Amino acid sequence: MEQQIVKPLSTRSEVICLAMMVVVVVMISGGVIAGRIRPNDEKVLKPHQLSAFRDLNSLEQGTFNDLYAAAMEINELHGTGDEEWPSLATLEDECMPPFVKDRVWKKRGRLAWEHRVPWSGTRHVALYLGVPRDAGSFGCFFLVMIHDHAGKRPGTETVEHPPCEIWHHDDVNVAFPEIVTDEALMVKGWKEVVAYKGEEEVQRLKGDGRS
């Protein structure tokens, strides 16, 4: 029987082969990870906008979140029945934050709310201004509800836009806005609050995947 002796590779050769294998594995893993990374959809804020995630303090963030959720409820209430906007008394009776006067309301500055319903052609607007009664790091919140009645009459078209806008002002002595346009609010020092802080928040605000 013939015997053949196979000499093992040198230690140096084995180290080189192992290093090459590690490099190949790292390169393949890096390529796979890069291919799976999804682009960041964080919204670039305009000069008249604030980020609810970065620019509001924690208590104001809570007020903003409650106000945004309430805006969706207000929009639903307006879309049913006689299309009247709910009053402050109705919102408080429904125990709807941030209008209900509970412990959280007291903790967040005890906002005093004022409600107005101007009418402008085919656009039905409801305004809710909340001014903190307690001194401290609390600003004013201004909820603008917008509902277009265009399309109900011949020759009119439906204009699509977000059902609500939420604005913030640092001055607790600010007056109730008489003219409600972006330009007029900006002149008075109001800042529109947006919740964009990444892809999931963008999808939430757009309604994607909403149950």
Please check whether residue 101 lies inside any domain of the structure. Answer: yes
Give the CA dihedral 75, 78, 84, 85, nearest 10 degrees. Answer: -20
Q: Which residue has the higher pLDDT, 154 or 105?
A: 105
Cα distance between residue 100 and residue 103, in whole Å: 9
Whole-prediction pTM: 0.70
54, pLDDT greater than 80: yes
Q: How far is CA 85 from CA 4, 39, 71, 124, 125, in A?
A: 95, 40, 11, 9, 9
Please check whether residue 167 lies inside any domain of the structure. Answer: yes
Cα distance between residue 112 and residue 129, in whole Å: 8
193, pLDDT greater than 90: yes
Residues 6+ apart with CB under 8 A from 198: 40, 41, 42
Please check whether residue 133 lies inside any domain of the structure. Answer: yes
Domain membership of residue 120 as a residue range: 49-206
Please check whether residue 89 lies inside any domain of the structure. Answer: yes
Q: How far is CA 13 from CA 5, 20, 129, 143, in A?
A: 19, 11, 76, 71
Please check whether residue 5 lies inside any domain of the structure. Answer: no
Please check whether residue 38 lies inside any domain of the structure. Answer: no
Helix, coil or strand: residue 65: helix
Please check whether residue 103 lies inside any domain of the structure. Answer: yes
Domains in the chain: how many in total? Answer: 1
**Of 80-84, 107-111, 174-178, 200-204, which range is least confident?**
200-204
Residue that the structure tokens 């941030």 belong to: 98
209, pLDDT greater than 50: no
**Are 179 and 168 within 8 A, CB to CB?**
no
Helix, coil or strand: residue 209: coil
Q: Among 73, 83, 69, 70, which residue's Cα sits nearest to residue 147?
A: 83
Q: Which residue has the higher pLDDT, 34 or 70?
A: 70
Q: What's the confidence (pLDDT) of residue 142?
A: 97
Cα distance between residue 14 and residue 44, in whole Å: 52
Please check whether residue 24 lies inside any domain of the structure. Answer: no
